[in-house]
């Protein structure tokens, strides 16, 4: 008797590798979607395999590959650094551990409202960067001004898209003004924003103080997310500040 065969219509060697998440009691539809997305996200798996604390590590990696601001010897401030993935990426790139012989040794300073597990090569402080004297504390810890201020912060989601957009823009503006207080001339500011229409004022402010401002969505940023990143380079200071030569 001839054995019946089944035609493979999906292509040679192909199979469905998508992980299906069973519905659990007490789990909302949005939680269900988030869990399934996490389980099928290649960057989540890669972060776990490579020892990073989250998939966001690849965002700063891709941004730096393009703009080259995490250079040996750089003094870097990571605002809202938890869980620490951006600091992990920055440590070897600025040579914070001195492993690149003959290269300048950089400094990574992470600050966050919550306690963050230690990261070799990074100095982590529990601090609210919105405090009045936060900039002075940071400069004291750094031993001077910063070359880079970066932020992957996002306000807690309210579930209302426009409200969330306004909150993250306000947070990004606060991070920008903090950067103005601690950056040295020529410095770089990198921050996450959400597309939505309210970021125009932030762009205007940055263009007044930096020689170049670019908005970019790195490959590791999810396609269905409205997040993007602003990279402002060549800090020029306050254009309205009075010069020491003015009489």
Per the omega criterion (within 30 degrees of 0), is the bond before 80 cis? no
Decide: 185 and 173 in contact? Cβ < 8 Å: no
Q: Which of 49, 103, 113 is nearest to 72 (CA)?
A: 103
Give 120-189 as a DSSP string: TTEEEEE--TTSTTHHHHHHHHHTS-EEEEEE---PPP-S-HHHHHHHHHHHHHHHHHHHHHHEEEEEEE
86 marked among binding-site residues: yes
User: What letter would DSSP give residue 208?
Assistant: H
Task: State yes or no: is 192 an active-site residue.
Answer: yes
Q: Is 128 annotated as a binding residue?
A: yes
103, 139, 192, 228: the active-site residue: 192
Instruction: Flag whether 34 is marked binding.
Output: no
- Compute the distance between CA of residue 192 and CA of residue 187 in angstroms, rounded to an integer: 17
Q: What residues contact 180, with CB distance under 8 A and at least 6 apart?
A: 209, 235, 237, 238
Residues of the binding site: 84, 86, 112, 128, 152
Detail the residues annotated as belonging to a binding site for S-adenosyl-L-methionine.
84, 86, 112, 128, 152
**Active site amino acids:** 192
């Amino acid at each position: 008797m001839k054995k019946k065969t089944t035609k493979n219509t999906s292509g040679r060697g192909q199979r469905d590798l998508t992980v299906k998440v069973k519905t659990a009691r007490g789990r909302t539809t949005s939680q269900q979607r988030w869990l399934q997305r996490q389980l099928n996200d290649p960057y989540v798996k890669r972060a776990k395999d490579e020892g990073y604390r989250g998939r966001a590590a690849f965002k700063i990696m891709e941004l730096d590959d393009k703009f080259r601001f995490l250079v040996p010897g750089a003094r870097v401030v990571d605002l809202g650094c938890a869980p620490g993935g951006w600091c992990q990426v920055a440590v070897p790139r600025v040579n914070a551990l001195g492993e690149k012989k003959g290269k300048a040794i950089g400094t990574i300073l992470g600050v966050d409202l919550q306690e963050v597990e230690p990261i070799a090569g990074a100095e982590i402080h529990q601090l609210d960067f919105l405090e009045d004297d936060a900039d002075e504390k940071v400069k004291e810890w750094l031993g001077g001004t910063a070359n880079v201020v970066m932020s992957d912060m996002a306000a807690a989601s309210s579930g209302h898209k426009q409200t969330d957009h306004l909150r993250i823009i306000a947070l990004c503006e606060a991070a920008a003004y903090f950067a103005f207080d601690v950056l040295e001339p020529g410095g770089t500011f990198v921050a996450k924003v959400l597309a939505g229409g309210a970021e125009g004022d932030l762009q205007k402010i940055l263009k007044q103080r930096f020689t170049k401002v670019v908005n970019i969505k790195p490959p590791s940023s999810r396609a269905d997310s409205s997040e993007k990143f602003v990279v402002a380079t060549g800090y020029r200071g306050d254009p309205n500040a009075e010069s020491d030569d003015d009489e």
